[in-house]
Amino acid sequence: MSKRGLLTILGARPQFVKAAAVSRQLRAFGIPETIVHTGQHFDENMSDVFFREMSIPTPAYNLNVNSLNHGAMTGRILEQVEEIILREKPAAVMVYGDTNSTLAGALAAVKLHVRVIHVEAGLRSFNMAMPEEVNRILTDRISNLLFCPTDAAVANLKTEGFDGFKAQIVKCGDVMQDAAYFYLDKAKSSSKILERLELRSDFILATIHRQENTDDTNNLKQIIEALNKINNELSVVVPLHPRTRKILDTKGIKPEFTIIEPVGYFDMLMLISNSKLVMTDSGGLQKEAFFFGKHCITLREQTEWIELVEHGFNRLAGADAEAIYNAFCEMVNKKSNFDIELYGNGKASKRIANHLEQWL
């Protein structure tokens, strides 16, 4: 590998989306990149399809680590990434977001005295019960270069004393906005999801995947109860991971709305941009709703994207059926001006590549 080369660690759907935007700019700036796919998300629609659709460089390594508990997954990824770092000798390791792949990649690098770059640094939900919160805090602390998407993210790091650490903080904007804007036209020409499901613009798009909801029977029952009630007024469409569907079957929880298989990124863009309202426990989908001028109800008690709540684009409802339904009634016909710059207006990836050209 070139002395300026990056080793990029990817494993989950949102990381593929972010990498699609950044990798394109790295190529434009002539920065070599080798991609490691940990295999954390192993479903066809949640992994391989992203590399094909979005022209992300084919991973040089695929670790196939999946279907394990947090500790085992993180440990096995760490072990294998360490071997790759020793072989490739990169100038730095770049990680995205807050998954087990993120933390494992960062730990492997720092223990070998290789610099760590964290894209989407500084985000905080302030809920330490979330595995993602633990991952992002630890990854930030051992990173050398922290690319923050928002002013709030920068402020979080400064509050935690990062001005006194040997780490560089850069506000760059959100690379997911870059990807969403760049790929929408391609999605319009290639996706047939709306026709296949016979959807118009009067449907609710909902997703449920956080362990705090899927693994808590009461939370899951409450969310399904609310979605069933809402489905009586507007059609609810839920792309659902097989694992969550199995939990519903096992617990005897009966959805009365439309469940579809997990979809690729382009199909998801079409579902978001044509929906009337988004309801989700995903961090990324909260932002993607905003990118396309849609209000969002977050099925969690906290969010990393506080600016969306502060500006009235997002409403936190938790996992309480009554609160979710009340939020639906409030948000479904709400009118807002989405013409506000919160996430960099599609230029974050170029800012990252430009900074890395000098930093590496």
Q: What residues are labeled active site?
A: 209
Q: 138 near 104, Cβ under 8 Å?
A: no
- The sign of the dihedral angle between the CA atoms of 342, 345, 351, 352 is positive
Distance CA 191, CA 255 (A): 26
- Produce one character per residue of 265-276: b if its CB has 16 or more CB atoms within 10 Å, e if not: bbbbbbbbbbbb
Helix (H) or strand (E) holding 211: helix 211-214
**Comparing C-alpha atoms, which of 236, 133, 183, 201 is closest to residue 349?**
183
Q: Give the other-Cβ count within 10 Å of 359's Cβ.
A: 16
| Three-class SS state of 267 | helix
Cβ within 8 Å of residue 134, ≥6 positions away: 103, 128
CA dihedral sign of residues 116, 119, 122, 124: negative
Q: What totals of helices (H) and strands (E) does the chain contain, helices first?
A: 16, 13
Gap between the Cα atoms of 347 and 349, Å rounded: 6
CA 47 to chain centre: 13
Phi, psi (5° rounding) for residue 191? Answer: -85, 135
